[in-house]
Structure 1
């Protein structure tokens, strides 16, 4: 019996030593991955969306200015050095290995596309950078929805002008913007706090900016702090207050980044999560969860009711107009995938900028100015657009395996605190 006990102890020690060595190897690969992401950020100002790791690594990246081709080559070598998971590898460890592998795939793909060595079309960008491919639709499939919106707003003149006049009733006056956003974000935070334990030091600063290709942005700074910016270049309608409050704040980007930092960087010392490369599979989880978080925090008709009873009066908008505004929002939301198709055709070179603007005016009812801004987004971010609607739908599928709202919040929180990617959601 004594010999068996000694033998068992030796085996246990061998396994423990092997596990420690493997963990050390993964940690070293994770550090090199972070440094390669920072190096790529020197060639594209928007590539590194957030970084809160050692400042020395960032300074090192600036000083070296490694060529894109070398970054790609180093990333390919690094990917080959990743340990292989087995059926006995704990789930979180398997998820971590897979995360590093797919993030390296995206880094390699982005580098090749940036250097011109391998120009990626829309679907190739989707697969290599975001670990998925969004559904394909024909633009003509959306014509019945367009007709329904047109019928909803009868009258003289082009439909774009009628819609512009309709939406003008719901614009937040400039002098009411701060009050509306403060109240909307507070509600998003209060509802999130009922289900997610927020960090005691979490906080954000809200700024209003112009001349951006996006409507809102979260710049995560680390230590549970974010800078949230809202683009006021064009009028903001009342529905955007809750959308941006949830998406950029609670339970969206601010909450997601704070939980990842606390659970993976601080508690597990997984340094790969101290950097966030924008053009990577992590973005689909980030954008998808941020958009799904809106309907999770405001299920059913609750968003419309909150806007009608609380935000409309603050903004000085007649609550009696809410029913038509809600219906208009439901119809136009269904047209979201039409914008993907315009982006696909534009990025693939099948249509030019003028045609893209025209199609966006028809299928998203955007003004010419807003459609032009949207095309600027395509120019800057490419196939990133799939992360918003397709990402939302993938997260919805992951979360809504139950009708119980508390269980949905639990699954959502689990997602925000783990290294899951689009193709590992069902692990």
Structure 2
């Protein structure tokens, strides 16, 4: 990998500079940021979502990691050094500097949490992801529930009716692999028409159990990903396109591959070889992955593809396909209710049983799915904002270019292949 060897050589040369020279080098700060992130990862499982830099950097970080207080001080010192670097004329380098600064703020926030500090929902979200979500009263979502009530009429409680209706669209286990692969292939086909991807990019698909999430992309470097689908609960047909776009194209796999191609390799910016999960990078990743579903498929296109391809592969009858899609679109308007439930649960206003009950009511799911949703909050806390709020901000930013789909795809390409922060979307 000649590109990686050249990066390592440049950074070894940077290591021979004086401390003042190093303070003026974005490359030196970036190299230390990578090591710092890997050391933090030794204190929290799952903190590092992806790493594809030199193996010896990871080995060095894991061999003798500093204690949390020392890492917190190192992060503060590194951020001060970064802020002392001169502002570059190149706008992209300016954005690189801002990205590093935001990532270091997130690292410092996470270290406070690892040390046992309890932050408010708003403080945690701002510190980790660079945004403060608007939290609306749950009663504001009652009008959405009323509209959904008309889509799924009956006398049973609405969550039970919705759960029963959606259960008609479960993909049989022996057909799940074929359905998922067809969905991912179509998501990819639509993406590469607008965004060139690196030659040789590919993914491996696996089905797993005992997870709090429904799907996950583990980026492995060299333009390769492992996409995992959780089968703890029956997988419904609507999830095929959702997961295919979100985890694959133009979602997480495409995003990470483009960052590797254009920034890690193309510019030698080593900070993109590591991906700390609790950082503004995740806000961009989740928001762009969720909006990518709508960018790749209009509702009409999605319905046509599902009816012509996915329903037959799943062995399901498409008679109610239109109403099923209408239900999915309506339920998206309930995304913000999850923030309210998460905030009240994490700040101790409600207990877990109440959080599960409210999730059933305002996310229109059965007990098992509600329990899984709250388990995700237990594990990932304020990370839940990245999906709904992230999608809203990416959508507003991209659709501001106008209705032309080619222009929208180009705006998405820039988000996915350049240093991008939530503040860049405003």
C-alpha contact 2:23 2:85 (8 A) present in aligned 1:
no
SS of 2:182's equivalent in the other structure is helix
Larger Rg: 1
The Cα shift of 1:372 comes to: 0.7
Partner of 1:196: 195
The Cα shift of 1:68 comes to: 1.1
SS of 2:216's equivalent in the other structure is strand
- In 2, distance between residues paired with 1:241 and 1:107? 34
The Cα shift of 1:265 comes to: 0.7
SS of 1:218's equivalent in the other structure is strand
Partner of 2:114: 114
- In 2, distance between residues paired with 1:211 and 1:39? 27
C-alpha contact 1:35 1:61 (8 A) present in aligned 2:
yes
Q: Which moved more, 1:149-158 or 1:64-73?
A: 149-158
Partner of 1:269: 268
Partner of 2:51: 51
C-alpha contact 2:183 2:241 (8 A) present in aligned 1:
yes
Q: Which moved more, 1:155-164 or 1:123-132?
A: 155-164
The Cα shift of 1:179 comes to: 1.1
- In 2, distance between residues paired with 1:346 and 1:232? 26
Query: 5 Å matches for 1:13-412?
Result: 25-84=25-84, 89-116=89-116, 118-400=117-399, 401-412=401-412
- In 2, distance between residues paired with 1:414 and 1:210? 35
SS of 2:169's equivalent in the other structure is coil
The Cα shift of 1:355 comes to: 0.3
Moved over 3 A (4+): 21-24, 83-88
Partner of 2:4: none
- In 2, distance between residues paired with 1:247 and 1:24? 38
The Cα shift of 1:85 comes to: 6.8
The Cα shift of 1:214 comes to: 0.2
- In 2, distance between residues paired with 1:40 and 1:31? 15
Q: Per-residue CA shift, 1:259-315, capped at 9, x if unaligned?
A: 101111111111111000000000000000111111111124211221122211211
- In 2, distance between residues paired with 1:330 and 1:275? 35
The Cα shift of 1:235 comes to: 0.5
Partner of 1:15: none
- In 2, distance between residues paired with 1:283 and 1:149? 31
Q: Per-residue CA shift, 1:113-164, capped at 9, x if unaligned?
A: 1111x31121111100001111221100011211222333233433333222
- In 2, distance between residues paired with 1:38 and 1:336? 33
Q: Which moved more, 1:417-426 or 1:84-93?
A: 84-93
- In 1, distance between residues paired with 2:22 and 2:191? 38
Distance 1:87 1:105, change over 3 A: closer
- In 1, distance between residues paired with 2:274 and 2:86? 27
C-alpha contact 2:263 2:272 (8 A) present in aligned 1:
yes
C-alpha contact 1:85 1:94 (8 A) present in aligned 2:
no
- In 2, distance between residues paired with 1:347 and 1:308? 41
C-alpha contact 2:24 2:85 (8 A) present in aligned 1:
no
C-alpha contact 1:188 1:297 (8 A) present in aligned 2:
yes
- In 2, distance between residues paired with 1:340 and 1:304? 29
C-alpha contact 2:129 2:282 (8 A) present in aligned 1:
yes
The Cα shift of 1:208 comes to: 0.1
- In 1, distance between residues paired with 2:302 and 2:421? 28
Partner of 1:14: none
How many residue pairs are counted as aligned between the two chains?
405
Q: Per-residue CA shift, 1:346-371, capped at 9, x if unaligned?
A: 11111110000000000011111111
SS of 2:212's equivalent in the other structure is coil
C-alpha contact 1:22 1:83 (8 A) present in aligned 2:
no
- In 2, distance between residues paired with 1:144 and 1:408? 31
The Cα shift of 1:317 comes to: 1.5
Distance 1:301 1:84, change over 3 A: farther
C-alpha contact 2:23 2:84 (8 A) present in aligned 1:
no
- In 2, distance between residues paired with 1:390 and 1:162? 28
The Cα shift of 1:23 comes to: 9.7
Partner of 1:4: none
SS of 1:264's equivalent in the other structure is helix
C-alpha contact 1:216 1:230 (8 A) present in aligned 2:
yes
- In 1, distance between residues paired with 2:90 and 2:99? 14
C-alpha contact 1:26 1:83 (8 A) present in aligned 2:
no
